[in-house]
Amino acid sequence: MEHKVADPAPLGLAAFAMTTFCLSSANAGWWDKGGASAALALALIYGGTAQFAAGMWEFVRKNTFGALAFTSYGAFWIAFYILLKIPAIPPSTNTVGIFLLAWAIFTAYMTIAALRTNAAVLSVFFVLTLTFVALTIGNWGAGSANWVKIGGYLGIVTAALAWYASAAGVINETHGKVVFPVGPLNG
């Protein structure tokens, strides 16, 4: 099928990967407290805006999965920035935990949909579900620094998988052949 726009998936995956990596490395304890602020700046612009735009372009390509995933996670990053940086009402102890639980549920059913994509995308969604579950536990009530750290490391793995899928998309397209395999799924 001839498309009127280039494949937006590599952009959406790259924006997701970089923002996830930076915030997850802060959650894993690799940065000082200033690192989370830098990650949140990425959340608003690259993770939020660029990913949201990629989702809109997926609608043009009639890719329901890509449109829902990129638009939703772009909105996630923008909402997360607003939640942490400009709250109208100070958050309670469960605010971030409940927010992350909702995203864990969404990501779990998107993982089921990802069974019809490819192994690279499926792996991103599978590990992202685990990341959200760990971060939900780590941010619930009084929280648990150990669970946040586990979520941070799972997020770093998620980011690496998303970067691979992004690289495969752009490199394979540019070279006109499979350089980085994505592992088609039978289904």
Output the average pLDDT for the chain.
93
Residue 145 lies in a domain: yes
Residue 156 three-state SS: helix
Say if 117 falls within a structural domain. Answer: yes
Phi, psi values for residue 118, rounded to 5°: -150, 170
Domain count, the chain: 1
Per-residue pLDDT at 152 exceeds 90? yes
Contact 46, 15 (CB under 8 A): yes
Q: Is the pLDDT of residue 141 over 90?
A: no
The confidence score (pLDDT) of residue 1 equals 63
Residue 164 lies in a domain: yes
pLDDT per residue over 36-89, tens digit each? 888 899 999 999 999 999 999 999 999 999 999 999 999 999 999 999 888 787
- Label residue 157 by pLDDT band (50, 70, 90): very high
pLDDT at 165 over 60: yes
Write the pLDDT tens digit of every residue in 15-44. Answer: 999 999 999 999 999 987 677 888 899 999
Q: Which amino acid is at 119?
A: A
Q: Provide DSSP, 79-131.
A: HHHHHHHS-SS---TTHHHHHHHHHHHHHHHHHHHHTTSBHHHHHHHHHHHHH
Whether 88 maps to a domain, the answer reads: yes
The pTM score is 0.94
How far from the centroid of its chain's Cα atoms is residue 35's Cα? 18
Taking CA atoms, 167 is separated from 21, 30, 66, 133, 180, in Å, by 15, 25, 16, 27, 8
pLDDT at 37 (0 to 100): 83
Structural domain of residue 13, as residue ranges? 9-175
Q: Quick one: average pLDDT of 80-100?
A: 86
Q: Is the pLDDT reported for residue 187 higher than 60?
A: no
Question: Residue 47 domain-assigned?
Answer: yes
